[in-house]
Amino acid sequence: MRIVVDAMGGDFAPTEVISGAVESIRQYGYNIVLVGDERLINKELSKYSKSDRDKIFVVHTEEAVTMEDSPSQVVRGKRNSSIHIALKMLKNGEASGFFSAGNTGAIMAISKLFLRTIEGVDRPAIGAVLPTMKGHTVMLDVGANVDCKPIHFLQFAIMGSAYAKIVLNIDDPTVKLLSIGEEDVKGNELTKSVFKLLQNSEGINFRGNVEGKEIFKGVCDVIVCDGFAGNIALKASESAAGYISKLLKEELTRNFVSKIGALLAKGAFDRIKKHADYTEYGGAPLLGVNGVVIIGHGSSNSNAVKNGIRVAHELAEQKLTAVIEKNIRDGYSAMKVDKGESFWNNIKEKLKKLNKTEDD
């Protein structure tokens, strides 16, 4: 099993990407394919021993995708980019999983172009694992889809539940809808419509609404939202965590007494930092495409890259795509549609009617 890595993606590429790849080999023994500028990659690899480089294969590309490139520009104009070549390798079965800390929009667009979406999924979603007071929760979508219809939320709920079964090891994950109040009458017209749809869907364990203040309390296993609200919630949480960390550091180093207290509590602080540190989670999967695609934070360091590669390897081993495909089919089976060759055609007709009703 090989994991293909976009060596040119991220704010600190290729240095941190290659460092993370080497660490994943040292710790887990993975086989890695690095895609990018061969000259720059080999320059970085020369810093490591031959044993570290033995499990690394380099594929040269002439182009790299920047964070400023629009997805449409990349799809049409940068067909020899590291993201293009890496995802094409994944499509052709030359790798089992893909990791990149590069341009999220470009990764999503090229993934849809090459890998296509799983049958029954209209839009792929980015799922993030968040630390909570009780463990972890999966939130999706956190950035792939800004404008969504109720049926997309249902698909997110099914995919999120399938993902939670794997990463959280929970047989029947609970699902809640992110809104501005717990009551079903709270929210805008979209969330009210989504609430009714999820409430009447047999394929998921829906438990109602969840407010933003409860995201980190661990009140459910899966939180469903559109990419607009999800991305804001995620980025606001990251900002708040950074702010609190900075305040703590300033206060704990203010004078001699506080420094002594900080030293005594160092173990506790280290455990808290590890639990909340995004680099320990590596990256977020693009759920709903035919392949394991992990998207890392743009500022990913070597630890984040190492863990992103680990997540890609683990999800490929546990056949994430097949699990989601089965859950989507089983979820739609609750619509009382006869299985067989006409199954997906009948499902599509039902979804067209549902979306038409929503538009009206």
- Residue 42, C-beta contacts closer than 8 angstroms, at least 6 positions apart: 58
Q: Which range (121-130, 234-243, 294-303) has the least confidence?
A: 234-243
Helical residues (DSSP H) of 115-176, grouped into ranges = 150-167
Q: pLDDT tens for residues 110-119?
A: 999 999 999 8
Phi and psi for 64 in degrees, rounded to 5?
A: -135, 145
Domain 1-116+289-318 matching CATH 1.20.120.530: the answer reads: no
pLDDT recorded at residue 168: 87
Name beta bridge partners: 59: 35
Can you give the pTM of this predicted structure? Answer: 0.85
Mean pLDDT of 262-282: 65
Residue 264: is its pLDDT beyond 70?
no
Collapsing DSSP to helix, strand or coil, 220 comes out as coil
pLDDT recorded at residue 274: 61
Name beta bridge partners: 127: 140
Neighbours of 62 (CB within 10 A): 12
**Domain boundaries, given as residue ranges, for the chain:** 1-116+289-318, 127-280
Phi and psi for 170 in degrees, rounded to 5?
A: -120, 130
Residue 356: is its pLDDT beyond 60?
no
pLDDT recorded at residue 240: 81
The amino acid that residue 270 corresponds to is D
Mean pLDDT of 284-305: 92
Answer whether 1-116+289-318 and 127-280 agree in fold.
yes
Residue 360: is its pLDDT beyond 60?
no
pLDDT recorded at residue 250: 78
Kindly indicate the confidence band of residue 135, based on its pLDDT and cuts at 50, 70 and 90: confident
Mean pLDDT of 213-217: 91
Helical residues (DSSP H) of 78-216, grouped into ranges = 82-91, 104-114, 150-167, 189-199
Fold exhibited by the domain 127-280: Isopropylmalate Dehydrogenase (3.40.718)
pLDDT recorded at residue 337: 47
Residue 177: is its pLDDT beyond 60?
yes
